[in-house]
Amino acid sequence: MAGRGGKQRISSRKGGCEQDEEEPQLQAVLVADSFNRKFFPVTKDQPRALLPLGNVAMIDYVLEFLTSTGVQETYVFCCWMASKIKEHLLKSKWCRSTSPNTVHILTSDLYRSLGDVLRDVDAKSLVRSDFLLVYGDVVSNIDISQALLEHRHRRKIDKNISVMTMLFKESSPGHKSRCEEDDVIVAMDSKSQRVLHYHKTQSLKKLHFPMNIFHSGSDEFEIRHDLLDCHISICSPQVAELFTDNFDYQTRNDFVRGILVNEEILGNQIHMHVTTDGYGARVSNLLMYDSVSSDVVRRWVYPLTPEANFTDQKGWSCTYSRHNVYRGSGVTLGQGSQMEENVLIGWDTSIGANCYISNSVIGNNCTIGDNVVLDHAYIWNNVQLGANVVISHSVVCEKAEVKEGVKLNKQCVLAYNVVIGPHISVPEGTVVSMHYPAEEEEDDDEFLSDDAAAGQSKDKVKQKAFNPAEVGAEGKGYVWKARGLDDTDDEELSHCLWGLTLKPELESESDDSEPDGPDDPVIPSPEMDDAKVFQKEVLGTLQRGLDENISCDHLVLEINSLKYAYNITLQEVMQILTGVLLDLPLQHHSSQLTASRYVAVLLPLLEKWAPVFKNYVKRSQDQLDCLSAFEEHFLEQVSHWPAMCKILMTMYQLEILEEEMILRWFSQSVTSDASRQLRKNQGLQKFIQWLREAEESSEEDGE
């Protein structure tokens, strides 16, 4: 009995040991810098990781996510405004001794990209085993344990071949939380979940997959466009080493691309994990900020909800009532004010009477006047809004002041300390900052440098006056860019703040109307003889010549090359060319054309392309060939006979045909009834008569 018990204990201890081996401490690398300036100029005053989202700094969401998913040690890498981030973290619950997640803060001004960070990770050999790689602006509640298990399993079985597992969330194209700039297409092996191809789809109409990705021996692949890249990846320590080895890798994108392309050389693979029910998104621009904020308020990121106080701030409380309305403590609401739905209001904020607020987040200590209308407005802390202010789809940063009667149209940004108004309407897409735009250009190279430089230039700027037309009579701030003028200069910025606007309808329509093009060829039949193909080609060439206004010389060149390609004799060229030209108006205007309409369309064409004809119709035989093609055409188009004389007349006048040849053609002995009928046409008769007389008279003149 005792013996058995002992055995059990031993075995259980053994099991425990194994488990310890299997699951070493989970580490994470948190990159608290975006290495881009998409939130500029807002991030001039505050690093992106500290921007409030649902009244909580973004980095707190990431840290909460990491901790809840079981990370025990986190390295936070900061660069831009590192001291602020450090200060924030030291005050937060993460740096308390009770925190299950030990947070180390590493700062350096030398980090210029994700690559630099990971190279530093490698140099300092910070990671011991698989680690999580996230950015400081990721909001997520995904349970990664399943993905981690799979990752470890793969690593165990294939001896470190798989270096990374990327996390994706299923989400249909056009979904709000999908960032257009970050849209990816992934080709994967259905069975092994291996990533075969990873590409951004922005502004692509056709997606291209190289063939070699299908040679992996599997017989089932998946092409997925329904994935949202959560920017969370499980990396093996090799990832850091690979970044060191390939010093040109700057971003994760470079890395993924490099691994996939060099798969055969390096033998490394990347896998993916798709979650259907978690939430994960990166706040990469203001549009995403808008979507993620409203998702937080709508509780999609549960348990990271606004009222949860997961940052554990003292004296903080928030009530949650239906229609997703959250109120912090000390909020006062004036009479007749309505909070429609999805509204979050921080503590000690007071709201005047008869306000209407929907889908908005309002920070702490704000003062909002009467009759204010807010829709999709993001008001940060300590903001003052005067009476009769209207704000929609805009962001107002800390300590900004919006005076009475101001209207902020869509996608405006008021950066820190800006004052606007009173009584102006700010056009769509305006960005106002206390920093002068030129200043940004000045220290363009060193935008990652310390605050001191920024401070210095601020002094310089102070001298420049504010433009009252833009910011109002009492306004303070410089307009960075009006959205309407963004097409030429400052392209970077126009992409930045709000990202690309989502216009799904517009885009899909343009996609649809895209001509079938090469994708949908009219299948060329094998039996079609060369002459027919040639005819088609000539038709196409002329059509194009008409559409694109190609000069006659070029047309001749093209027809000549076609002639050689299809081995067509000169005689046939003539006949086909004539036929095609006479057909052209019919092609354009489908079928029912009266003879007069037909002439009206054809004659300009004839005149336009007379040089082309002259190039081919030189000898008398050529003219006869041309005429016979002419006859052939009209034999089929009986209704157009009245047009004949006009066309012949024009061709005669354009000196394509000589009178002698026309007469000879006319008097040719004809065999078929139809041809005889044709020659009896009145107009034609008259024309011939006229020609004869003209000839006679000219002969007479000559004599």
Partner 1 sequence: MELQAVMMAAGGGSRMTDLTYNTPKAMLPVGNRPLIWYPLNLLERVGFEEVIVITTKEVQKMMSTDLKLKMDVKMKLDFVCIPEDEDMGTADALRHIQPKIKTDILVLSCDVITDVALHEVVDLFRAHDATLAMLMSKAHEFTETVPGQKGKKKAAEQRDFVGVDQSGKRVLFMANEVDLEDGLSIRKSILNKHPRMLIKTGLVDAHLYCMKKAVVDFLTDNKSISSVRGELVPYLVRKQFSKARSSPKPKDDTDEQSQTKSDNSPNNELLISSRDDRLLQLAQERSCWNDHHGDMSEAYHGGKLRCYVHIMDQGLCYRVNTIAAYIEANRLVPKLLFEEPAVHPSAVISERCQMGSDSMIGALCHIADKTSIKRSTIGSSTTVKEKVRVTNSIIMHGVTVEEGCNIQGSVICSNAVIGRGSDLKYCLVGCGQRIEDAAERTNEVIVGTDQLMEI
Q: Summarize as ranges the residues that interact with partner 1 (CB under 8 A).
A: 172-175, 185, 190, 201, 204-211, 214, 219-226, 504, 508, 511-514, 516, 519-520, 522-528, 590-592
CA distance 246 to 268: 14
Q: Which is nearer to partner 1, 445 or 516 (CB)?
A: 516
Burial-class residue 459 by CB neighbours within 10 Å (0-12, 13-18, 19+).
Answer: exposed
CB nearer partner 1, residue 107 or residue 216: 216
CB of 635 to partner 1, least distance (A): 14
Q: Which residues contact 406 (CB under 8 A, 6 or more apart)?
A: 386, 389, 390, 420, 421, 422, 423, 424, 425, 426, 472
Peptide bond into 422 cis (omega under 30): yes
User: From the CB of 5, what's the least distance to partner 1, in Å?
Assistant: 50
Q: End-to-end CA distance of the chain: give it in Å, rounded.
A: 144
Cis peptide before 642 (omega within 30 of 0): no
209 vs 690 by CB, closer to partner 1:
209
Q: Which residues contact 301 (CB under 8 A, 6 or more apart)?
A: 61, 139, 140, 141, 279, 295
- Could you tell me which of 463, 410, 466 has the C-alpha nearest to residue 433? 466
Shortest CB 525 distance to partner 1, Å: 3
Q: In the complex with partner 1, which residue's Cβ is closer, 219 or 487?
A: 219
Cβ proximity to partner 1: between 2 and 211 the closer is 211
**Is the Cβ of residue 508 or residue 596 nearer to partner 1 in the bound state?**
508
H helices within 246-393, ranges in order?
A: 252-261, 263-266, 286-297
Our CB check for partner 1 shows the closer of 223 and 485 to be 223
Q: Smallest distance from the beta carbon of 636 to partner 1, in angstroms?
A: 9
Q: What Å distances lie between residue 485 and 428, 452, 491, 560, CA to CA?
A: 11, 32, 10, 48
Pick the closer one to partner 1 by CB: 171 or 244.
171
CB of 385 to partner 1, least distance (A): 35
CB of 616 to partner 1, least distance (A): 25
118 CA to centre of own chain? 28
C-beta of 60 vs 182, nearer to partner 1: 182
| Local structure of 295: helix, strand or coil | helix
Structure tokens at 353: 């009477």
CB of 611 to partner 1, least distance (A): 29
Burial of 301: CB neighbours in 10 Å, binned 0-12, 13-18, 19+: buried
Kindly state the smallest distance separating residue 506's Cβ from partner 1, in Å. Answer: 12
**Pairing of the two strands 318-321 and 325-328:** antiparallel
281 or 413: CB nearest partner 1: 281
Instruction: Report how far residue 534's alpha carbon sits from residue 614's, in angstroms, rounded to the nearest whole number.
Output: 20
Give the DSSP H/E element, type plus range, for residue 414: strand 413-414
Residue 523 C-beta: closest distance to partner 1, Å:
5
Whose Cβ is closer to partner 1: residue 15's or residue 173's?
173
The first and second tokens of residue 613, run together, are: 């004809």
Q: Specify the amino acid at residue 363.
A: G
Q: Report, in Å, the least distance between residue 512 CB and partner 1.
A: 5
Contact 209, 197 (CB under 8 A): yes
Closest CB to partner 1 among 219 and 673?
219
Q: How far, rounded to the nearest angstrom, does the alpha carbon of residue 432 sit from its chain's CA centroid?
A: 26
Smaller CB separation from partner 1, 226 or 451: 226
Integer Cα distance of 78 and 34 in angstroms: 10
CB of 521 to partner 1, least distance (A): 9
Crossing angle, helix 237-245 and helix 252-261, to 10 degrees? 90
Rounded to whole angstroms, the Cα distance separating 375 from 388 reads 14
Report how far apart, in Å, the C-alpha atoms of 215 and of each of 10, 203, 255 are: 49, 28, 22
- Residue 57 has phi, psi (to 5 degrees) of -60, 145
Q: Is 89 helix (H, G, I), strand (E, B) or coil?
A: helix
Closest to partner 1 by CB, 219 vs 703, is 219
Give min distance, CB of 273 to partner 1, in A.
16
Single-letter amino acid, residue 623: Q
Which lies closer to partner 1 via its Cβ, residue 17 or residue 207? 207
**Residue 275 Cβ, how far from partner 1 at the closest point, in Å?**
15
How many Å apart are CA 32 and CA 58, to the nearest integer?
10
Task: Find the shortest distance in angstroms from Cβ 505 to partner 1.
Answer: 10
Q: Of 330 and 540, which has the nearer Cβ to partner 1?
A: 540
Under 8 Å between Cβ of 131 and 221: no
In angstroms and rounded to an integer, the radius of gyration of the C-alpha atoms of the chain is 38
- Rounded to a whole number of angstroms, the minimum distance from the CB of residue 599 to partner 1 is 19
Two tokens, residue 232: 């969370």
For tokens 């079985």, what's the residue? 157
Cα gap 200→180, rounded to integer Å: 9
Query: Which tokens in the block code for residue 86?
Result: 């450090």
> Would you state the torsion angle of the CA atoms of residues 100, 103, 104, 105, taken in this order, to the nearest 10 degrees?
-170
- DSSP letter assigned to residue 216: S
Helix axes 570-588, 620-636, angle to 10 degrees: 40
Distance CA 686, CA 689 (A): 5
Q: Which is nearer to partner 1, 97 or 525 (CB)?
A: 525
Closer by beta carbon to partner 1, 187 or else 645: 187
Closest CA to 580 of 553, 612, 547: 612
Q: Which two tokens stand for residue 35?
A: 């290495």
Minimum Å gap between C-beta 175 and partner 1 is: 8
What's the min distance (Å) between Cβ of 528 and partner 1? Answer: 7
- Smallest gap from Cβ 323 to partner 1, in A, equals 23
Length of the chain: 703
